[in-house]
A and B are shown apart, each in its own frame.
Chain A
């Protein structure tokens, strides 16, 4: 059966060129980069080449990149690392209600350790208001962490406005840019964050590899202790093949900007679905949004049911965050945006990628209306809605 993968915000397929470099590295670049002989120094060279590639992807200096075991670890390092280094200066952290679990749950753990956390609200598009950030800052604020763009809705945050506020007050600013890299331009020197998180598997690289950009001069404690690797911020023998793959993926993603193609495809998907299906609503900002992301609620049909039914038709999509699949509550992001729970439960997130074709989108447009029709056919909520609207019409 035809397989259409439309969950690129959850993860991406490994790019063939990345795979080639990684296979090569696994076989040949086995030396420990910390050793002095040729096989080791070759590995070290490749490691530094990858660092250069990742750094130039975000407009950073090479020495400002620390490789980690993924986005989650980089976010943990940023939050715990700053808070532990600065706890004598204050114990207040500002973040937002729509962060990824790896930031939210780190913040909650810090809260249990005695830190005070402010979770900034968002508007109905899922956007943080920089004015709210200004108001939340206290003399004892030691860290601000606001994501660059949201994984569920794709809404892009006004980061530059917020880094300016942070800089004025001398507070370190961290941004989780996992979803933005490779989809929109991210120039860390341009918007001036102090810390920034990247994950390799969202840009057609391998899983379990990521990076934290740490601006020169930022004080940070490690969260793991061991050897001197990654300047002691991330001890342990480096995942050389993974990092090489990550570096290649970063390099490819610089050349491969096809935002316009994806915006056209995505908007066609949305417009055609809303023409064919009643009561479809868009979640997220209409324009300030990642070019590949479409989050919609199709009222009266539960999201998981649609995901399973679409899977049977060869389409892979999610209901929002992959991490939230094990919980029953509707998305914390949609809740923060004020989407009522009964609508939030009816959510599908399409996220397109380089491998998405016109035909893929046409196929979804062709089959989804029938799936919805069938499922609404046995939805008691749809029946109620029909009854109500009939009554109103009379």
Chain B
């Protein structure tokens, strides 16, 4: 039911694990499926130079976390804010309909990490 790309990211998640002293942390969850995502970013001169994640969730939740952290690295804050859940799903060669919300969760985790960074920056 998952694309090969999803399975590949599920099997070998990129950027997995906690980050020491992140510049921004996003923590989001979906109350229906119970999945929880934490995303950390490191920012230098308005560019996201590193991103990592921790996820409790389904295969798609793990794959979308992995993909979104890959996608934001090297992007400016403005560029990162334009990454949509659709773009994440497309980069994974699509998701089954019931699993679209997993990519929404990934987008929300990223936004929330960026908001946290902005707040800290003041």
Contact = CB atoms under 8 A, between A and B. Distances in A.
Interface of A: 300-302, 304-305, 308, 312, 326-330, 341-342, 345, 377-383
Nearest to B102: A328
Nearest to B96: A326
12 contacts: A300-B56, A302-B57, A308-B10, A308-B59, A327-B98, A329-B33, A379-B55, A380-B36, A380-B37, A380-B38, A382-B56, A383-B18
Contacts of A383: 18, 54
B34 A305 contact: no
B41 to A, nearest CB: 16
A383 B11 CA distance: 21
Contacts of B55: 378-380
Contact of A308 (B7, B13, B34): B7
Nearest to B99: A328
Interface string B49-70: 0000111111101100000000
A380 B28 CA distance: 11
Contacts of B62: 305, 378
A329 B7 CA distance: 22
Nearest to B61: A302
A312 B61 CA distance: 18
Complex A-B, nearest 3 residue pairs according to Cβ-Cβ distance, in ascending order: A328-B33, A304-B58, A345-B34
B16 interface: yes
Contacts of A382: 56
Given A302-B34, A305-B62, 17 more contacts: A302-B57, A302-B61, A305-B57, A308-B10, A312-B11, A326-B98, A328-B32, A341-B34, A378-B54, A378-B62, A379-B55, A379-B56, A380-B37, A380-B38, A380-B54, A383-B18, A383-B54
Contacts of B33: 328-329, 345
B116 interface: no
Q: Is the interface of B mostly helix, strand, loop or mixed?
A: mixed
A302 B56 contact: yes
A302 B33 CA distance: 10
A243 to B, nearest CB: 32
Nearest to A326: B98
A359 to B, nearest CB: 25
Given A302-B58, A326-B98, A379-B54, A342 B13 contact: no
Contacts of B115: none
Contacts of A381: 36, 56
Contacts of A300: 56
Contacts of A380: 27, 36-38, 54-56
A185 B53 CA distance: 51
Nearest to A329: B32
A378 B58 contact: no
Contacts of A328: 32-33, 98, 101
A305 B59 CA distance: 5
Contacts of A378: 13, 16-17, 53-55, 62
Contacts of B56: 300-302, 379-382
A345 B55 CA distance: 14
B12 to A, nearest CB: 11
Nearest to B101: A328
Contacts of A302: 34-35, 56-58, 61
A379 B62 CA distance: 10
Interface string B70-111: 000000000000000000000000000010010000000000
A383 B33 CA distance: 19
A233 B38 CA distance: 56
A379 B38 CA distance: 9
A12 B111 CA distance: 46
B13, B35, B37 — most chain A CB neighbours (10 Å): B35
B105 to A, nearest CB: 12
A233 to B, nearest CB: 36
A90 B18 CA distance: 61
A50 B113 CA distance: 64
